[in-house]
Amino acid sequence: ARQVPDLLSPEFAADPYPAYRVLRESAPLHWHEATGSYVISRYEDVERVFKDRDGEFTTENYAWQVEPVHGRTILSLSGREHAVRRALVAPAFRGRDLQERFLPVIERDSRELIDAFRHTGSADLVTEYATRFPINVIVDMLGLDKADHARFHRWYTSVIAYLGNLSGDPEVTAAGERTREEFAAYLLPIVRERRDNLGDDLLSTLCAAQVDGVQMSDEDIKAFCSLLLAAGGETTDKAIASVFANLLRHPDQLAAVRADRGLVARAFAETLRYTPPVHMIMRQSATEVRLSGGTIPAGATVTCLIGAANRDGDRYRDPDRFDILRDDLTPSTAFSAAADHLAFALGRHFCVGAFLAKAEVETGVNQLLDAMPDMRLADGHEVVEQGVFTRGPRSLRVRFTPVAR
Ligand code: HEM
């Protein structure tokens, strides 16, 4: 049997894909001592756990994974309570609300960032664009003060570090918990004030939302907004950067997307399959469950490797090839967010922000292509990906012909 690589080793962090292959082929149900979890990597197994047709899994693991920084949110709820709580927030992220209220915000926030560097001739698309854009969008959607952006970026960075702190660094843990306090002190007075002065922003929508006589408390709203900043910020930032990293490394496909903007949706979908922003999602088993590689006992933690499942040769032809035209992947549409890969998960916890993410990435990609018709990787720049829980390019230096101010 081939040696199963250590998921916390530097080699794994540098390039997890060879390890994913070994896991899929030789150890599809792998006990991982350090995280105390069963690791699964095959498409059919991860899909089955996410869909959870027979109610064999819960998301109780989020009680210890994310509640310490965000408070209690829909992520850790199950059953009817989850359904009602999710229904309170979901409508704001799709359909007419998204198209009419928030698309103009998305377009404006993207343009503001691009205007700051388009006259310079070079930019780092990660630090100057991707890490700022989605968080600015959420702050603006919520109707919070733009002047507080720096503070949001700081909080967001410490929450992300907390969630990715697989080795348990106590300073990172303490900083994450401090952020929870600071965020509550900032947002709770704003929520109370907003309840008396409802406007057209997302925070007002959350204050007013009602399903089956249930409303969100101030604490619920604070926790959900905290989750939004992390769940909607970091993931989308990595998605945009990865779309460009993949296209810049495949110039023929970049040229095709430039020529036919209808292909942007395909570039996004293939990027989510090939280099998903979120690589690991956990679940808790409620009963004994039989998967393709063996049986998981009741009460166990399961780590679903999205990055491995999305490259399963039993699901995709030539899975390690980036190919926006592949015929075994159907991109999501304006009406169906359910894309043909596992990057947004599936089932009850399927990403609530999938349409929003699609709108942000497609708007961003189109605007960046328009602003920089000859964008290319800076000479000598090698794209390095980082992160094992979430993953994306560390930086992306590009050059282009500057426009006059
Ligand atoms: C859930 C990925 C963008 C908000 C999820 C889950 C994944 C995911 C994998 C499932 C978690 C689980 O099953 O345990 C992504 C990716 C994104 C993205 C790859 C970008 C490309 C966004 C955005 C928002 C958002 C923009 C902001 C609205 C959420 C929320 C949940 C969620 C609130 C929890 C849903 C629930 O528990 O019912 N996302 N997400 N996400 N996402 Fe996203």
Under DSSP, the state recorded for 403 is P
pLDDT at 64 (0 to 100): 86
The percentage of the chain sitting over the pLDDT mark of 90, rounded to a whole number, equals 80
For residue 97, give both structure tokens. Answer: 């609300």
Render pLDDT for 106-143 as a digit per residue (tens, 0 to 9). Answer: 999 999 999 999 999 999 999 999 999 999 999 999 99
> Ligand 1, atom 9: nearest CA belongs to which residue?
344
pLDDT category at 267 given cuts 50, 70, 90 is very high
Sequence-distant (≥ 6) Cβ neighbours of residue 294 within 8 angstroms: 28, 29
Mean pLDDT calculated for residue range 337-351: 88
Mean pLDDT calculated for residue range 238-250: 97
For residue 72, give both structure tokens. Answer: 């209690």
Mutate to test the pocket of ligand 1, among 89, 139, 246, 351 (most ligand atoms within 8 A of CB): 351
pLDDT of 204 over the 70 cut: yes
Task: Kindly state the greatest CA–CA separation across the chain.
Answer: 65
Query: Would you say how long the chain is, in residues?
Result: 405
Average pLDDT over all residues of the chain: 93
Angle at 14 between CA 9 and CA 17, to 5 degrees: 95
Render pLDDT for 65-77 as a digit per residue (tens, 0 to 9). Answer: 889 999 999 999 9
pLDDT at 6 (0 to 100): 87
**C-alpha to C-alpha distances, 200 to 144, 203, 266, nearest whole angstrom:** 12, 8, 33
pLDDT category at 335 given cuts 50, 70, 90 is low
Mean pLDDT calculated for residue range 293-301: 96
Render pLDDT for 182-198 as a digit per residue (tens, 0 to 9). Answer: 999 999 999 999 999 99
The domains found in the chain, sorted by start residue, are 10-399 (1.10.630.10)
**CA 350 to centroid of ligand 1, rounded, Å:** 7
Residue 236: what residue type? T
| DSSP E strand stretches across 164-311 | 210-211, 214-215, 280-285, 289-291, 294-296, 301-305
Q: Are 14 and 281 a contacting pair, CB within 8 Å?
A: no
Place of tokens 């080793």: 9
Mean pLDDT calculated for residue range 6-16: 92
DSSP sequence for 88-132:
HHGGGGSHHIIIIIIHHHHHHHHHHHHHHHTTTSEEETIIIIITT
Mutate to test the pocket of ligand 1, among 140, 235, 240 (most ligand atoms within 8 A of CB): 235
Place of tokens 């949706």: 265
For residue 274, give both structure tokens. Answer: 């090939």
Render pLDDT for 147-179 as a digit per residue (tens, 0 to 9). Answer: 888 888 889 889 988 988 877 889 999 999 999
- Region at 236 (left for phi over 0; alpha for psi -120 to 50; beta for the rest): alpha
pLDDT category at 338 given cuts 50, 70, 90 is low
> Ligand 1, atom 1: nearest CA belongs to which residue?
351
**This prediction's pTM:** 0.95
Cα 88 from chain centroid (whole Å): 21
Using DSSP, how many helices (H) and how many strands (E) does the chain show? Answer: 17, 14
